[in-house]
Structure 1
Amino acid sequence: MGRHSRKGPAPKGVAAGAGSAPAAGERDAVAASSGTGRRRRTAGPGAAPEPSGYGMPQTRGGHPEHHEAGGGWGDWRGGPPEQSAQGGQRLRTQPPHPTAGGTRVPGPRREYLEAFDRDQSGREPYAAVTDWDTGHGRPPEIAADTEADALADDEEQSGGEPSARTSKGRTFTGIAAAAVTTVLAVVVAGQVTADDPGAIGAQSTGEERQAQERPDRSEGRATPPQAGRAAAPTYQQLMARQFPIDPKLEASGEFEAVPGFEKAPGEGRKIRYRVDVEKGLGLDGGLFAKAIHETLNDDRSWAHDGEMTFERISSGEAKFVITLASPGTTAVWCAKSGLDTTVDNVSCDSASTERVMINAFRWAQGAETYGDDAMLPYRQMLINHEVGHRLGHNHVNCSTPGALAPVMQQQTKTLEAGGVKCRANPWVHPGE
């Protein structure tokens, strides 16, 4: 059992270390000293004994206060502890102040006060920010309550004049209040950070990232075509269209080769050709060159049964040059070979030159014999007919009514010859 909970008189070691005990009269004088502090009130005659636990006095809160000799409360050199009404030891709950008679009473050790002073003037670099030394290990709000009680007792004992301890208590109370304010500021700052739009944006970004990582329900479904962005027209669609052009157009008269190279697809006699387009014509030279290459190398054309194959070049020596020119320029080049194309605005093979002239008006608008809905077959016929002249074939007319017209018949002008009317036909070997 510890010596602070032992019943009976104080240990001898304490009395020996603290000096001889004062006489009974002196103890009564001390007990009856001036001051009305609640914590030193003694029991009067006939009063009920104070409750105690195992011989120990009860302090506020119902728990005994243990003040060890030699601790922060100093040595009890002014006399032994007070005696309770029942003769047991009663430790002081608060060190009394010196009396008028000069009696020496216990007080805080100097090193403890210096420690507090050092703490206020210069705290250690790694000391805790919140210090609860004011309340002896208790939170600031409890320590503040204790200091308020101590202040009231001190004023009662000293006649209303605050003591040094009162000043220190106020200082530590202010420190505790500052610590509480700091904690509240940190909490409020955390709430403001949580409400920060940047934080919300970061959270939204995280949610969007998660949404992107999740598979979409529409995954694997066909994407509908976007409005306003139509698919590029195919070769057949472009070849079926008509293009606006002036039937009397006379362009620059200068030509340029369509760039590129298209290899001959067959194994027959190879014929190299070049494609030129008059500058400033306003028509698609690439589409024109593609139509020539596909038409001439079709098995229904002059390349039938591998008899010959056609290869397009853009430079070097060519057997002939298929030229797309305006009506005025076409007439000029056809006239060089004694041909007049101005009567029906037609095309020709200018045999005295290297050029096979294709009238741009016919290429763009077609002919009445084929109609507006048969632009692709008409263009195929136009190519096969003029190249046929370059290959040495002359005009041939239809001889059987209702039959397909020969490709070397002048189908741009008419499908009827000598009273025999035939059907339009673009191919050398149509397959009938």
Structure 2
Amino acid sequence: MAVLGAVGCTVLAWPQPDTSGRPSESSPAEPATRTSPPPARKPSGTPAPRTSPSPAKPPALPRQGPGTYVTAPGGSAKAGKGTALRYRVEVEKNIDLSAAETAETVDRILGDPRGWTADGHSAFQRVAHGPTDFVVRLATPATVDAVCGRGGLDTGGRYNCNTGDQVMVNLDRWVLATPVYAEDVTAYRALIINHEVGHFLHHGHVTCPGKGEPAPAMMQQIKGMHGCVPNVWPYDSEGRFITGPAAP
């Protein structure tokens, strides 16, 4: 299983993860350097006053929720070739995050050309109603632990998992990422989805293929990079599968 990947939140000291169970994870590309244009000036040459936008309030991180969900409305276009796997996106009810926005993020990840559709036969399409092949659920740590535990997986309040047709995303990981990805949570979210959906597609854990190589999406990066560099996609931009030796 995999654990899992930006928000201006303080990341507390990271506990040594438990290696039991089959938690999983994911990771992204390095964030691009951003430069801000010079401030506008008045015609007289006097610098215009600068105003700092108020930072967005980070969402609360409840430890436990009701175990019931809000389903993201609407759906997505088919991404990939072949028969589409239909999926639904849900957010636990006490989480202060939009189900619709969460679904848009998942849609972009699953539709990215570096994702699982690059294998030439996987395809995905989000729906809000009707039969589905799997469901992505963003939930509190206690709910993730309960669902994953019923599947025999120990997520320890920290990890994500795939069990049966459920991709369970731990709220803490979605919001805070991990120390390696703390500055690019958006990328880490791609790692979460790619890693756990990879398990749903029957991909197992692998290890780092070598120092300086991109970390495979199916590597448990939350447990250490082992010489690999951050990467959150199953395939590179040229369509080559990024993998490593099978994990013991």
TM-score surpassing 0.5?
Answer: yes
Counterpart secondary structure, 1:412: helix
2:70 touches 2:99 (CA, 8 Å); kept in 1? Answer: no
- The match for 1:399 is 209
Q: After the TM superposition, which residues 79-90 of structure 1 pair with which residues of structure 2 at under 5 Å, given as runs?
A: none
The amino acid that maps onto 2:94 is: G
- The match for 2:26 is none
| Number of equivalenced pairs | 186
Counterpart secondary structure, 1:256: strand
Identity of paired residues, percent?
Answer: 36
Identify the structure with the greater helix proportion.
1
Q: Measure, in 1, the Cα distance between the counterparts of 2:119 and 2:236.
A: 13
Change (3 A) 1:422 1:329: same
Q: After the TM superposition, which residues 279-318 of structure 1 pair with which residues of structure 2 at under 5 Å, given as runs?
A: 279-304=93-118, 306-318=120-132
1:350 aligned to which of 132, 146, 163: 163
Q: CA deviation at 1:269?
A: 3.0
- The match for 1:423 is 229
Q: Measure, in 2, the Cα distance between the counterparts of 1:430 and 1:374.
A: 19
Structure 1 residue 320 corresponds to structure 2 residue 130: no
Greater relative contact order (CA < 8 Å, ≥ 6 in sequence): 2
Structure 1 residue 368 corresponds to structure 2 residue 179: yes
2:161 touches 2:167 (CA, 8 Å); kept in 1? Answer: yes
Q: Measure, in 1, the Cα distance between the counterparts of 2:183 and 2:57.
A: 9
Q: Measure, in 2, the Cα distance between the counterparts of 1:304 and 1:260.
A: 25
Q: What TM-score, normalized to structure 1?
A: 0.41
CA RMSD of aligned residues (A): 2.2
1:410 aligned to which of 205, 220, 226: 220
Q: Measure, in 2, the Cα distance between the counterparts of 1:391 and 1:265.
A: 16
The amino acid that maps onto 1:369 is: V
The amino acid that maps onto 2:234 is: V
1:68-119 deviations in Å (ceiling 9; x for gaps) = xxxxxxxxxxxxxxxxxxxxxxxxxxxxxxxxxxxxxxxxxxxxxxxxxxxx
Q: CA deviation at 1:387?
A: 0.4
Query: Which deviates more from structure 2 when the two are superposed, residues 329-338 or residues 275-284?
Result: 275-284
1:388 aligned to which of 198, 220, 224: 198
Q: After the TM superposition, which residues 117-196 of structure 1 pair with which residues of structure 2 at under 5 Å, given as runs?
A: none
- The match for 1:336 is 150
Q: CA deviation at 1:242?
A: 9.1
Structure 2 stretches lacking a partner, 5+ long: 1-49, 239-248
Q: CA deviation at 1:287?
A: 1.8
2:139 touches 2:170 (CA, 8 Å); kept in 1? Answer: yes
1:369 touches 1:413 (CA, 8 Å); kept in 2? Answer: no
The amino acid that maps onto 2:74 is: G
Q: Measure, in 1, the Cα distance between the counterparts of 2:119 and 2:210.
A: 26
Q: CA deviation at 1:340?
A: 0.7
Q: Measure, in 1, the Cα distance between the counterparts of 2:173 and 2:75.
A: 26
Q: Measure, in 2, the Cα distance between the counterparts of 1:314 and 1:412.
A: 31
Q: CA deviation at 1:412?
A: 2.1
Q: CA deviation at 1:342?
A: 1.0
Q: CA deviation at 1:308?
A: 2.1
Q: What TM-score, normalized to structure 2?
A: 0.70
Counterpart secondary structure, 1:311: strand
Counterpart secondary structure, 2:66: coil
1:299 touches 1:305 (CA, 8 Å); kept in 2? Answer: no
Structure 1 residue 251 corresponds to structure 2 residue 56: no
Q: CA deviation at 1:380?
A: 0.6
The amino acid that maps onto 1:312 is: R
1:242 touches 1:365 (CA, 8 Å); kept in 2? Answer: no
1:366 touches 1:378 (CA, 8 Å); kept in 2? Answer: yes
Q: Measure, in 2, the Cα distance between the counterparts of 1:415 and 1:328.
A: 27
1:395 touches 1:410 (CA, 8 Å); kept in 2? Answer: yes
